Structure 1
Amino acid sequence: MTSQDLGMRYLCRGILTHPLGLHCNVPTDPLRPDGPGSINQFFKGLRRAVERGATFIDTSDSYGLGHSERLIGRFLRAYPDLSAHLSSKVGRVRGSAEHPYAGRHIHHQLEQSLENLYAEQLDLYTLDTFDFGPGDRYLGNAIDVMRTLREVESIKAIGMRGPVTSYGASPEERQEQAERFMYLFRLIKPDVVWSPFNAFTPAIELEGEDLFTFAARHGVGLVLAAPLAHGMPAGDTASQPTSRAPFTSKRAGLSHPVAERLDQSLQVLRDTFGHEPGTLTHLALRSTLQRGDQCVVVVDFANEQQIEEDYSCLGPPLTPSELRIIDDVYTSLRAYVHQAAPRLLVKELQA
């Protein structure tokens, strides 16, 4: 098995899954059962993804305060024989607890997530923030609870969020974020790291390595979210047929100079790889999927058309020379956005 293979791959011990999964931060209105962005459209997307081979479903207790989990649970009740790997997160919903990681709150949130998802076990449960209270007061408790949940098989694997920093962050701020991640990584000893990753994601080095090399060396899996960054690396525009809303600099929160640089970068890819619809989506998804054998990529969606586009455009693997071209374009774009951030308004492109 290689990272070019789109067959089943191991995310970590106990989780064998299709490498392209679903990120279910559901933007649906529970009062609107049909139409664009509706619950019915979301269910159709879920069903189509399963038909195309999807097995990994990623959500969080904070997505709509449980609304996303409940919708997935409704879907799973309708398909009781479906073999799905369920991933959720904890750490942003405090409720009446002193802190999201205090006392038995993690356990309580897991019980609620399992009830919402109509499940007896989570495959992956991720600590979703680096905030463990003043002086990391609740860090030890969080680690103990997560390990206990894994031991009693309420969860299969422990996840933690990856290091993310804002554009325009100083070298000192990036180093501080990397050191914070490394400190928590050594204590938590996660099975999986969950992180947004796309053409805009600011790069952070970990022990002199990128996230992928670091994760491979430590034997941990990666769940990579937001590979299409609101459609921008896929070049979703009014002139490119797509079921997603057309990309505009205003919609994305990009300043005009940054949007122009994005267009120039995407044009380089179009001139190199072709102008067929779906080409840029193919490059964005494939270049991410081929980062490593233990990488699972989760895509956002609102309907079955988006699912069909994403799964249909995967195509053949990219060659090493093609990957270098894509990396060079994305690296140049990241560097430009980083330099421009202090003086230009740029919306954060993070999951």
Structure 2
Amino acid sequence: MQYRRLGANGPVVSRVAFGNSLTAGNQLADDAALACVRAALDAGITTFDTADAYAEGRAEELLGRALAGVDRDSVVVCTKVGRGGGPGPGALSRERIAASLDASLRRLGTGHIDLYQAHLYDDSTPLEETMRAFADAVRAGKVRCVGVSEWAADEIERAAVLARELGVPLVSNQPQYNLLWRVIEAEVLPACAALGIGQMVWSPLAGGVLTGKYRPGQRPPAGSRAVAARGGDVSIQRWNFLSDEVLSAVARAGDLATEAGLTLPQLALAWTLRDEPVTTAVIGASTPTQITRNLTALTTPVDPALLHQVDEALTPVTVHDPALTLSRMLRAKSRNPTLT
């Protein structure tokens, strides 16, 4: 395993993090979810990502159970606030953050969270209120570092100014980023680089599409994420990753990987971790073997020329439009509910 500091002021994290957004407490039996965390630890993964909204808190509970007895200083526990909680105050209001933070600490069975992230931007709450609530959490010792997830560049820049004034700088952004989805490249990455904010990206395998298991003209395999009834189908289909055009391009990329003696997941993960802006990539898994198999991307040499070839093969279906940053998409949809 390799390790890097997250942003200019964040914790040292493993280059691959383990996340349980669609698995723990949802698509996996508890024993399987716990086994995946143990496999991640055995592989040298020190960084674990979850959120209060995942499986309505069950994901945090299972992560806490899995890490019980592990030296607390040896792991980086990351969670998020801002999508769960039901009706009431704004998702990132002071009241909601305070209540959610205490609940997350209880479910995780820990006295502090290493990285607390704002899950999407909250238009209904003044940004100053959100950042002050984060600063108070840091000063109370409940949180070590703060970050955001799926915010647009202008939102990140405004938050960074306030955070710096409050003495608790933003250290990270958690966007979707992979060979197919590159909307952060035009605006978010340059803004974060200038501010010393690191990238902790999610979905480096595009929800499994970049494993090659989905084939053009064929139904998704039984039991795969694309047909799961508990979130996986929505997360993949939202981005139109299952069109025949996309899957045909992915198949061409898979052929290039095979010719080079690599698997497509190895190649896709190596591409995501190829350069400085991405500090760590969050992977999920349904079995321990998926973790160990994919982690070979860190130790397998990949020819830069091959990465360029794969890039070219996927160019016709790659999405770059910064307007499709999730925060912007949801804001636009709130103004016009007819948008998809």
- TM-score category by the smaller chain? 0.7 to 0.9
Counterpart contact for 1:278–1:309, Cα < 8 Å:
no
Other structure's SS at 1:64 match: helix
Q: Which residue of 52, 72, 80 maps to 1:61?
A: 52
Partner residue, 2:117? 126
The amino acid that maps onto 1:16 is V
Structure-1-length-normalised TM-score: 0.75
Number of residue pairs matched by the alignment: 306
Give how far 1:98 is off.
2.1
- Answer whether contact 2:14 2:47 (CA < 8 A) is retained: yes
Larger RCO: 1 or 2 (CA < 8 Å, sep 6+): 1
Which protein has the bigger helix share? 2
For the 8 Å contact 2:266–2:295, the answer to whether it is kept is no
Task: Kindly state the Cα deviation for residue 190 of structure 1 after the two structures are TM-superposed.
Answer: 1.9
Cα distance, 1:73 vs structure 2: 0.9
Distance 2:12 2:25 in 1: 33
| 2:12 maps to 1:16 | yes
Q: Offset at 1:328?
A: 2.8
Q: Paired residue for 1:171?
A: none
Query: What amino acid does structure 2 have at the position aligned with 1:8?
Result: Y
**1:149 lines up with 2:137 in the alignment:** yes
Give distance in 2, aligned partners of 1:331 and 1:282.
19
Residue identity opposite 1:231 in structure 2: G
1:191 aligns with 2:191: no
- Work out the CA distance in 2 between the residues paired with 1:130 and 1:255: 20
For 1:211, the aligned partner's letter is V
Are the structure 2 counterparts of residues 72 and 248 from structure 1 closer, same or farther at C-alpha, using a change threshold of 3 Å? closer
Amino acid at match of 2:13: T
Choose from 207, 213, 219 the match for 1:236: 213
Q: Is 1:217 matched up with 2:208?
A: no
Per the alignment, in what secondary structure is the counterpart of residue 318 of structure 2?
helix
The normalised TM-score by structure 2 is 0.77
Q: 1:307 to 1:102 in 2, by over 3 A?
A: same
The alpha carbon displacement at 1:187 in A equals 3.9
Superposed CA offset, 1:119-144 (max 9, x none): 111111011121241xxx43221111
Counterpart-to-counterpart distance in 2, 1:89 and 1:255: 22
SS in 2 for 1:73: helix
Question: Match of 1:100?
Answer: 91
Distance 2:227 2:137 in 1: 44
**Structure 2: tracts of 5 or more residues without a match:** 164-168, 216-220, 323-340
| Distance of 2:32 and 2:241 partners within structure 1 | 36
State the partner residue of 2:328.
none
Q: Which amino acid aligns with 1:9?
A: R
- 8 Å contact from structure 1 (residues 10, 293) kept in 2: no
* 3-state DSSP of counterpart to 2:56: coil
| Deviation sequence 1:277-321 (CA, Å, 0-9, x none) | 861101111111123165110101122122222223444243433
